[in-house]
Structures are given as structure tokens and as C-alpha cells.
Structure 1
Amino acid sequence: MAAGLQRDPIVILRMNGEDLNEFADSSTYETEAVAIFSQVESGNASLRQCLSAALRHLTVDHGMPPASDSLVVETVIEPALQELSSADQLDRPASQEAFFQEFRKYLGIIARRLQERPVIVAHSENTFDGAGVRKILSNKSEFDKLLDSLWGDVPKEHKDRTSKKYLWVAFDRMAASVNLPPYGAVDQVDAVVNEAFKMANADDGKPVDEAEFKKLLTEILGAVMLQLDGNVIAVSSNTVLHEPMSTPSSLLSPSPPSPMVSSPSE
């Protein structure tokens, strides 16, 4: 996914348990814990299953490194779970009260282990709000040049016409020019693009000439812009750095802009 995202600066975070402790002791813990339990509890799920699933609902904003990373699992999550309680208690069906109490204890143990062995996380965020589309649409000369270039690159059939299927190719080629990810990189943006193509009736594969080709691309971009105006899409990426890093600071300076590294994120 990350290969096509905008190259934003990567912030290096040192997860040392401090933020996680603050969350567990905060006034918002109870509300968030109840909300998380309602999402992870299903039927006869055990307390162990609920606690493990709950960690995936926490992010670096809570002070939790990616819970799916092998280093985090092996050195933090599994040892903390073993320390938390006896197997008999963890394998019982989870109640909200038990989850509420044990989850707070679990986070405290994880925070302590992070204090003993901090985890370094590369964090980056991207926001897709339609501003890049609006900018290109407002500059007619630049937009016309872009459309000319896209039309010049698509295969032509007889009588200088091309199939509508090449609208997808053209849209993907201009994604970087309008600050959008390539199709397939971000599911939420893909859904917006799919809807825009549907609204423009641009997905039936019929042949179009140059004027209609450019008109359809303009309509699709306009539809994408309007949808993103009302529903901004934010995407974050978090990657655990397995090389040791020693620093007293909890937040290091951003690195130079570089491609984001893909990793599961919440």
C-alpha cells in the first residue's frame, strides 16, 4: 500500500511506556475500554482472546507500538500476558467488568516492559482532502497540458477513439499530480474513485473520442474532490524498527522525506 502514498516526513517515536501509562490512568480510559470491549467481545470469547484483540485497537497515540509486529509480540505482548494472571482465569468467558480491570493491569505490565526495553517506531500520516484536485482544476492551462499528455499516451482505435477502460489508466497516471494515491493503495480512496467513475458512467468500456475522454476525466476528478471535501481520509503507517536505538528522547527529529514503509496500522 505504502509504495504509492505521498512521501511525507517520517517521525521516529521511542515507545517507552510513558504514554501508555498515562492512557491507562486517564479519565478517558473507562470510556475507551468499554467501547473496545463491545467491539472485541463475541459470544463466549475468553478474556485472553478479548485482551489480545483489544491491543489491536490501540495506536501509537495511546503509546502502543503495532501489536502485530513479531518483535513486539515476542518481547512485550506475550510475556506481559503470561505475567498478568493464571491461565484458568484468562480462559474463562470475558465479562465487561473483568475485561475493564484486567486490561488496565495488562497495559501497566506492557508499559513496564516498554520502559525496560523501548520499541522504536517509524510513523507517518497522509491526509487526502481533495485539495490537490482543486488546485489542478483551478489552473486551466496546467490541467489542459495534463489532459493532453494523458490523451497522447492512451492506445487509439480506429477514427482516433479509445476505450473507456483507459480512463482508469489515465486516472492512475495523474494521481501523483493531484495528491491522490494510486488505485489499490488505500481502500477508502478506492471507494471514492469507484463512486466517481460510476457517477460519470465511465466504466462501461465503450469507445470515446478525445473531447469526451477529457470531459469524463474532468467529471471524475470533480466528483472525487466533492466527496473528499465532505469526508477527509486520513491514513497512517507505523513500522517497528528492529535495530536497537539508544536515546533519552521520546520523540526524535523527523527524517528526510522518503517512501513510507508498509505495516499494519490501526
Structure 2
Amino acid sequence: MAAGLKRDPIVILRIDGEDLLEFINGPSYEAEMAPLFSQIRSDDASLRDCIIKALEKLTVDQGMPPSSDSWVMSNIAEPALRSWDWRGNDQEKPVPQETFLEEFKKVAERVTQNLKEQPVIVAHSENTFDGSGIKRLLSSKFELDKSLNAALENVPKVRNGKISKEYLRVVLDVVAPSAGLPPTGAFEQIDKVVADIFNMKNADDVKMVKEDEFKKLLKDFLGSIMLQLEGNPISVSSNSVVHEPLASSSSLLQPPS
């Protein structure tokens, strides 16, 4: 079982195959894997290709550590694939769903055995972006001015002190930590919210504006992002394999006897 040690907002999970075994033998297996198969199947994809992609799609909630981690792939996933007897099942294309569900379960069973022998420690974090961080920043003139002034220090200005609007995204990324926002590229959902608002307000043109107007525009963008997130909060999670031993918590990570 994935025993958790909560370190707000991080939970340390011990992935030892029990949750994955419960998933593949449980009543929700076909209901969850069939839609996933529809996403990854293609006319020229082999059964092996589909199984590899499916392993990459499984989450810690289903008992699978991140297969994007090279150690997990080399020591957990690939050995399971090598021990899987695929002969006679990897020729038919497109791959039938029934074949995929049956053969994927066989590979997953081998993954659970590998996890039992070599449990994986995963740092799991969850965050909800609801605009509250932006609201706190906008409500404090001192903190807002401090953040904006620091962000503008390295922005190129022309002789009359004007700034190109094209730097709004750059400055927003610098201000982001103070506003409780992730950096650009960290989470696709947040990037889309920001991009939609910038496009709506035509923020990417190269018009030159005075510094005060630039700050006003940035405050306006922050306010728009805040309203969007207040109305539609975005929850995101991330998982990272812990490769170093956790000395202070190792005893707490053992499954209950």
C-alpha cells in the first residue's frame, strides 16, 4: 500500500505494488483502461507500443510510480516488459481492445512484483490555484509596488523611460511567485489561462508605454487572472521519485504490520 507521510503540501508515498495489484484486479480496471486505450491506440501501433504508453499514463493513484523517471523505467517497467511473453500477440494491427486489456494486466502484474521487490519512494504534491495569492498581492500596495519595481529593474527602457508591452509576460513571470502563480511552462492549464487573457487584451504588441501605464496594465492582467481562477480554480499535482534515503522518516514509510 502507498503509505503516506504528509508534509504539507508534500506527501511521501511508498509505492510497493499493492495499490497497482488492487487496481488491475478491481472492478474499475476495464472502465478506466478502456478510455485510456482509446487515447493511445493507432492503426500502426503495436501491442507493445500501446502497453508502454499505457504504463506512462498510469498515476500514483493507481499505484504506478512516474515512468518518466529513468530509474523507474529501467528497474521496474522495462524488466516487466522483457519478462512478458508477447509472441503471437504483437502482430495484429490495430490492436483489439480485449487483447490490450488482457495483455496489459499481465505486464502490470510483473510490475507489481518488481515494486514489491524494489519499492519506490515518491514525493507527491498537490496545489490548487484559486487566485487567492494574486488577491493577497493586489491588496497590499507596499508588496505589490515592491514586486513590480524589482521585476522592472532589468527590463529594457528607452530614453524617455517607456517600456514595450511585449515585456509584460517577462515581468509577470518574475512577479508570479509573489502572486502565488507557477512559472511559465510549469503547468499547461495555468499557461492557457494566462495566454487567453493576454490574447484577449492584445498584450503582445510592441507598443511603448510609460512605466506607470505598464504597471497599471500588469495589475489589470493580474486582476483578470485572479477572477478567472476564482471562478474556475485549477488543481494540479506533481510526482517525483526520491532517490536519496529519507533518514528522518524512513521508519514512518514502512507499511503497517
Q: TM-score range by the shorter chain?
A: 0.7 to 0.9
CA distance in 2, matches of 1:31, 1:164: 49
CA distance in 2, matches of 1:247, 1:91: 47
Per-residue CA shift, 1:113-132, capped at 9, x if unaligned? Answer: 21122122222233322211
Per-residue CA shift, 1:178-232, capped at 9, x if unaligned? Answer: 0112233333322222222222332212111233212211211122112223443
Tell whether the 8 Å contact from 1:48 to 1:91 is kept in structure 2 after alignment.
no
The reply on whether 1:31 has 2:31 as its aligned counterpart is: yes
TM-score (norm 2): 0.82
* Matched-pair identity in %: 51
User: Cα 1:227–1:109, aligned 2, differ >3 Å: closer, same or farther?
Assistant: same
TM-score (norm 1): 0.80
Aligned twin of 2:4? none
Aligned twin of 1:165? 166
Q: Following TM superposition, where does structure 1 have runs of at least 4 consecutive aligned residues deviating by more than 6 angstroms?
A: none
User: Cα 1:140–1:71, aligned 2, differ >3 Å: closer, same or farther?
Assistant: closer
CA distance in 1, matches of 2:86, 2:142: 69
Unaligned runs of 5+ in 2: 1-6
The reply on whether 1:249 has 2:249 as its aligned counterpart is: no
CA distance in 2, matches of 1:173, 1:238: 25
CA distance in 1, matches of 2:254, 2:38: 32
Aligned twin of 2:177? 176
Aligned twin of 1:190? 191
CA distance in 1, matches of 2:99, 2:185: 41
Tell whether the 8 Å contact from 1:8 to 1:126 is kept in structure 2 after alignment.
no
- Give the match's secondary structure for 1:204: coil
- Give the match's secondary structure for 2:237: strand
Aligned twin of 2:136? 135
Per-residue CA shift, 1:45-90, capped at 9, x if unaligned? Answer: 2221111111111111111011132322222222222333242323
CA distance in 1, matches of 2:134, 2:54: 38
CA distance in 2, matches of 1:182, 1:232: 17
Aligned twin of 1:115? 116
Stretch of structure 1 that moved more, 52-61 or 221-230: 221-230
CA distance in 2, matches of 1:155, 1:209: 12
Per-residue CA shift, 1:89-119, capped at 9, x if unaligned? Answer: 2344321111122222322221122112212
- Give the match's secondary structure for 1:102: helix
- Give the match's secondary structure for 1:88: coil
If asked which structure has higher relative contact order (CA below 8 Å, sep 6+), I would say 1
Stretch of structure 1 that moved more, 41-50 or 8-17: 8-17
The reply on whether 1:18 has 2:18 as its aligned counterpart is: yes
User: Cα 1:160–1:81, aligned 2, differ >3 Å: closer, same or farther?
Assistant: closer
Stretch of structure 1 that moved more, 188-197 or 56-65: 188-197
Q: What's the CA shift for 1:20?
A: 0.7
CA distance in 1, matches of 2:117, 2:198: 52
Unaligned runs of 5+ in 1: 1-6, 253-266
Stretch of structure 1 that moved more, 191-200 or 93-102: 191-200
- Give the match's secondary structure for 2:122: strand
Stretch of structure 1 that moved more, 64-73 or 35-44: 64-73
CA distance in 1, matches of 2:150, 2:118: 53
**Superposed counterparts of 1:29-108, under 5 Å:** 29-93=29-93, 94-108=95-109
Aligned twin of 1:262? none
Aligned twin of 1:211? 212
**Superposed counterparts of 1:144-163, under 5 Å:** 144-147=145-148, 150=151, 154-163=155-164
The reply on whether 1:235 has 2:242 as its aligned counterpart is: no
CA distance in 2, matches of 1:144, 1:243: 41
CA distance in 2, matches of 1:203, 1:67: 37
Per-residue CA shift, 1:147-174, capped at 9, x if unaligned? Answer: 4555566444233322223323322221
Q: What's the CA shift for 1:24?
A: 1.3
User: Cα 1:220–1:75, aligned 2, differ >3 Å: closer, same or farther?
Assistant: same
